[in-house]
Chains A and B, each alone.
Chain A
């Protein structure tokens, strides 16, 4: 099982202009190695879709998607091979 090394919490709305949620996820994934994972918390299906679709498109593995009422926990890891 991959070890969670970083957590990104996107559940609160972001007020500041142009602060991209994906930007924060991308930053957290930088340097992720085999056996490591990043945990992302989102609220609502739109953010769940965006994070998982972006991760897959950019070579990451969606290890887990767990729904807890209105919130979703997404665990992302690297695909086997060098980190993107």
Chain B
């Protein structure tokens, strides 16, 4: 059976269990809602990154700055040579987003826990409510790797071009424009529903098994190639706020080894609210 293109990008629960005391490993839980996750019990020794507070700019709609990323890691006791293992709530959505940020800023060894928080708990592995503290570390980030990210002007510029394919990873109801966001999240709604012209709809969850682990490489390849998402193209993934699309970005780039994949984190909450951009339904 084929192996993942970047097998070190994933660790399983047993590996994490064996490395709970490893000083070169830092386990990080990345949650959208820590009150329903981390604070109820987390992997022993794991620190918390609150996605909204820690990974986003506090004022602008943007990811955290390079300086803020350095400070975040420094406080967490993460050095440039630390193995960072990410997992979290909402089926690893926000952990995948954090993985993408780590790669954006050039961190070498970052891994995703296959199956996330859910699998750890399903296996009835130990949980702790203790919040650990680690000695601060020195951390230096690189300039963000622009090849991994797409902004709106870039997407507009490549729209319809040969050799570029867009993957809309949202639900079919979002893709068609029937809905733009659940009513509980009005700040993520858009003025218009639909999708970016030419995008194909491959919901992010198609890449996962029922236990939230990733499917095997052959199955993944079939899913994406059947829809024309092939490694010879430049691929842009998007969703609503960029975190489900991070999962697909991770799959294409790190599990299947596609060389040219960008995450458009502005996603539909930006596109669907922008005056004048084309929309398809």
Interface residues of A (CB under 8 A from B): 13, 15-23, 44-46, 49-50, 53-54, 57
Contact = CB atoms under 8 A, between A and B. Distances in A.
21 contacts: A16-B171, A16-B181, A16-B182, A17-B243, A17-B244, A18-B188, A19-B182, A19-B184, A19-B185, A20-B184, A22-B33, A22-B35, A23-B184, A44-B122, A45-B121, A46-B117, A46-B121, A46-B122, A49-B40, A50-B36, A53-B40
Interface string B13-48: 000000000000000000011011101110000000
B33 A20 contact: yes
Contacts of A57: 39-40
Given A18-B90, A22-B35, A54-B36, 9 more contacts: A13-B205, A15-B203, A16-B179, A18-B188, A21-B36, A23-B33, A49-B40, A50-B121, A54-B40
Interface string B232-249: 000000011101100000
**Most central of B119, B121, B203 by chain A CB within 10 Å:** B121
A74 to B, nearest CB: 14
Interface string B112-123: 000001110110
Nearest to B39: A57
